[in-house]
Structure formats: C-alpha cells, structure tokens
Amino acid sequence: MDQHVNPPILMREHIWRFNEAASFGPYVDSYLIVGSEKALLVDTLQTDTGLYEEVRKITDKPLEVFITHGHGDHAGVATREFHEAGVPIYMSHLDVDQLVSRSRYGAQKDWFLDLVPGQIFDLGGFVFHTISIDGHSKGSMVALDYENQLLFSGDGIGSGHFWMQLPNCSPLHVFCENLRALVKECGKCPDLLVFPGHYDQSPVQLTGQFVRDVLETTEGLLDGSLKGEPFHQVLGQRTIDCCQISRGVMVSYLYDPNNF
C-alpha cells in the first residue's frame, strides 16, 4: 500500500526536500522551491501519496511541476494529485511514452506539457533555466539557477552513483556532448550546489566538482584512458552485465561497454 509522504526537510531558506524511504533506507527525493511569486516542485517521488497536500501546507502560491525524466521513481503516483489539482506538469515529451507505458497509476500523455531546453521558470528570486542532459534517458533535463548557483539534476548526472548501463540509456558519446555543454554552464557558478534525485546516495554535498568528475570520467572512457571493472548488477529478477568505475567524489559510475 502506498504511504503518505514524510514531512519535508528544510534544506535552506525557501527550499524543501521530500524524501521517500525504501526498505534499505533513504531513497528518492522531490524538491520544492518557493519564490516570491511562484513555486516549483522538482519531481514527484515514487509511491508515496499526499505530496500535493504537503506542498500546499507550505505555500499557496501558483505552482508548477518540473519532472526531470520519465522514470517511475521520479514521476510517481503523486503526479496524479497535481494533475487533478490542475497544476501544470512539465516533462520532456521524449520520455513520455516510456513513462506512460510503465505507469502503475494510469499516467496519460496529455497530463504533461513538453519540457524543452531553454525554458525558463521565473519564481521571483529564483530563475531556473532548463538544460538537456540526454544520457540516462533521452529526455533528461536539469534546472539551473545561475544567480543562486543551484542545480536540480534528477538522475541526469547521477547522485554520487550514476547509471548509464540501462537498456534505454543513450550512447556515451551523446551523453558526453550534452555533458560538456552542462559543464560550461555550471562553470558560470563557482559555488554551485547540486541537488540530485537521490540526495542521500552521496556522503557529501555535491558541487560543481561532481559535474566535472562525471565529464572527465565519461571522456576518459570514450578515449580509452579510463576503463572500469566488470560488474554484475542484480535488478529484481534480472542481471545486467556492465562495468563500474569511480573517480573524484563519485561513488560509482555504471556503464554499458557496448554502448559508447
């Protein structure tokens, strides 16, 4: 049975994190950013319900939802709550079919407005720019606020752990091209803080250094200067044969050596 979402954690002024726990501990996160004019919710957890109710306890300002990518642990059952409340929900249409086909709560294509690169969410005091990071999924998007130096990244660059080994991941060279563009933009924020989709996976607060570590690792894998070790990942009833590498503040980076 789905459970009511846990109370939010205040991360810093005007920013809250909702964490959905799993049997093995903290799992996936959603973030609420409240500006002077509007509020933005980044992702909707997985199976927990009551997220809309809890958001409305914090703010009654006009609200929009930013779904970083179309995986069910980031666009979960609470998505329906926001749709039924008439809240605009943005997600790249590149990921919509994947989400809808696997949805356990009846998600429909027409729930989602297309989230495109260059789209701006001006909340008043926070201005988020949408940047594509095709890789973990084709429609992965991140939200970057240059002035406040904040990046909300979903799974686009991982959370200390990074998965590029899944069957629907884009080739590494495609991801690398998008990642170089992201690193260039993040370079404009020397004190960048990264808020990923699985905050507790990293033992440290992620910063711009992590974004650079992901790029350097990806470039090294592509040019042959870096090579991971064979790794057998068990996911439910299936096993994925892939490779694993770690570098810098990255805990692990899983990738498919046949998808370069």
- The pLDDT tens digits of the residues spanning 119-169 come to 999 999 999 999 999 999 999 999 999 999 999 999 999 999 999 999 999
Residue in 79, 20, 30, 124 with CA at minimum distance from that of residue 95: 79
pLDDT of residue 235: 82
- Residues 184-211 have a mean pLDDT of 97
Question: Which residue range(s) make up the domain with 30?
Answer: 9-224
176 has a pLDDT exceeding 60: yes
Running DSSP on this structure, what letter comes out for residue 6?
A: P
Residue 258 lies in a domain: no
Ordered alpha helix ranges (H), 85-163: 96-102
Residue 236 lies in a domain: no
| Residue 151 β-bridge partners | 144, 194
Confidence of residue 25 (pLDDT cuts 50, 70, 90): low
Mean confidence (pLDDT) of the chain: 96
pLDDT of residue 243: 98
Count of domains for the chain: 1
Judge whether 178 and 134 are in contact, CB under 8 Å.
Answer: yes
Kindly give the interhelix angle for 208-223 and 172-186, rounded to the nearest 10 degrees.
150
**CATH code at position 51:** 3.60.15.10
Residue 242 lies in a domain: no
pLDDT of residue 24: 67
